[in-house]
Amino acid sequence: MKRGTVTEIQLPQIHDPRGDLTFVEGGIHIPFQIARAYYLYNVPVDSNRGGHAHRELEQVVFALSGSFRMKIDDGSARSEYWLRDPRRGLYLSKLIWREMDSFSQGAVCMVLASHRYDESDYLRNYDDFLQALKDKTR
């Protein structure tokens, strides 16, 4: 069974007395062509988001402000990451189940994605996710 992968991505930071600057360049920092960016904001601190995987979509998730937790499941192992540094992103390959919670007040989550929005790419049921993993090996 081919599992998905999760890796941390570190972005450059330009220090400046006027404020710090971080940049992201497609093809250099992000391991796919960026087709879409979206962001979550005005998130209530007790909100739960995610609760799905993707068939083909790859993404890199950043906490531009504040912090939140990402709970990751590749179908056999579970792990969790706290995102709280705007220089640090979390790359999620396809076929990774993710859940997000513990948002701090005012947290902003930005996501860079490999494809445009397509609801048919979502696996919103956990058993469907496990089945999709099995199907990948057939």
Which active-site residues does the annotation give?
Answer: 52
117 lies in the binding site for ligand T46 (CB under 6 A): yes
Q: Is 29 in the site for ligand T46 (CB under 6 A)?
A: no
36-55: contacts with ligand T46 (CB under 6 A): 36, 38, 40, 49-50
* Identified binder of ligand T46 from the candidate list 6, 11, 30, 61, rule CB under 6 A: 61
Q: Closest by alpha carbon to 53, among 94, 5, 100?
A: 94
Closest distance of CB 24 from ligand T46, Å: 16
Query: What is the C-alpha to C-alpha distance for residues 115 and 113, in angstroms, rounded to an integer?
Result: 6
- DSSP-derived letter for residue 60 is E
The tokens describing 64, both together, are 């531009």
Question: Which of 31, 50 has the CB closer to ligand T46?
Answer: 50
The tokens for 98 are 């993710």
List, edge to edge, every strand of the sheet that includes 6-10: 6-10, 88-92, 59-65, 108-113, 36-40
- The site for ligand T46 (CB under 6 A) is made up of 36, 38, 40, 49-50, 59, 61, 98, 111, 117
